[in-house]
């Protein structure tokens, strides 16, 4: 009887410790008006992508160092069927940015493969013929710092003259019509 009581007491102590540990806090998703967490990416190996972003050195860069007034970031995954389905629209958005005099050179577009290795990102790039820079987040650190958002997820940041930035757009899901989304980005970023 005494042994049963001790086992029950031990089990109760374990349960109390498990349920009294407090909540584990995750990072919140990016919020409009806020800033991105510190994100450092490798300068693209493709010289055309480096020129597109205005980066000349090798090594790492922060998104706010991109030469432009605003950056749209797509968080995607090779395994996300929605990302696969939206890829042609995102490519169309890039083409519209490059043909629009209010956007070209001022509004840049990049993609970050959430928990995707460089190999997986390269497969996504070649399969969907992505013309803009894509970056790997193989260890998932960027994805975690952004609150492990669902994909695709789009973030728009405005780069300020002092090198800081502010988020002007942060939403999950595809965007439908590329021209409408471009106009929304131009208006929301203040480039219109």
Q: What is the mean pLDDT of the chain?
A: 90
Beta-sheet strand order (sheet of 134-137): 134-137, 107-114, 70-76, 153-159, 165-172
170 and 72 Cβ atoms separated by less than 8 Å: no
Token representation of residue 164 = 């800081």
Q: H/E element holding 167?
A: strand 165-172
In this prediction, residue 56 carries a pLDDT of 83
Work out the percent of the chain whose per-residue pLDDT is above 90: 82
Helices 81-99 and 178-189: angle between axes, nearest 10 degrees: 70
Query: CATH homologous superfamily for 2-189?
Result: Glutaredoxin (3.40.30.10)
CA 72 to chain centre: 9
DSSP H or E segment with residue 61: strand 60-62
Mean pLDDT per block of 10 residues along the chain (192 residues) reads 57 49 66 95 95 91 95 98 98 98 97 98 98 98 96 97 95 96 97 88
Burial of 112 per CB tally in 10 Å (0-12, 13-18, 19+): buried
pLDDT score of 3: 63
Q: Which residue has the tokens 């050179």?
A: 105
Helix/strand/coil percent split, the chain, to 5: 40, 20, 40
Give CA–CA dist 126/122, Å, rounded: 6
CA 128/CA 8 separation, integer angstroms: 59
For the chain, which residues make up each domain, given as ranges? 2-189
pTM given for the model: 0.86
């Amino acid at each position: 009887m005494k042994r049963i009581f001790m086992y029950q007491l031990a089990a109760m102590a374990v349960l109390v410790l498990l349920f009294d540990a407090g909540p584990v806090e995750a990072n919140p998703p990016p919020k409009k008006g806020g800033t991105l967490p510190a994100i450092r990416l490798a300068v693209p190996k493709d010289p055309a992508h480096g020129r597109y972003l205005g980066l000349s050195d090798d090594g790492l860069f922060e998104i706010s160092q991109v030469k432009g007034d605003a950056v749209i970031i797509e968080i995607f995954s090779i395994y996300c069927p929605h990302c696969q389905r939206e890829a042609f629209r995102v490519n169309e958005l890039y083409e519209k940015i490059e043909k629009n005099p209010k956007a070209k050179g001022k509004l840049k577009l990049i993609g970050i493969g959430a928990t995707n290795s460089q190999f997986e990102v390269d497969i996504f790039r070649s399969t969907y013929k992505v013309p803009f820079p894509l970056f790997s987040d193989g260890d998932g650190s960027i994805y975690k710092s952004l609150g492990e958002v669902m994909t695709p997820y789009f973030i728009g940041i405005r780069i300020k003259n002092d090198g800081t930035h502010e988020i002007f757009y942060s939403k999950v899901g595809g965007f439908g019509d590329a021209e409408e989304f471009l106009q929304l980005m131009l208006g929301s970023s203040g480039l219109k």
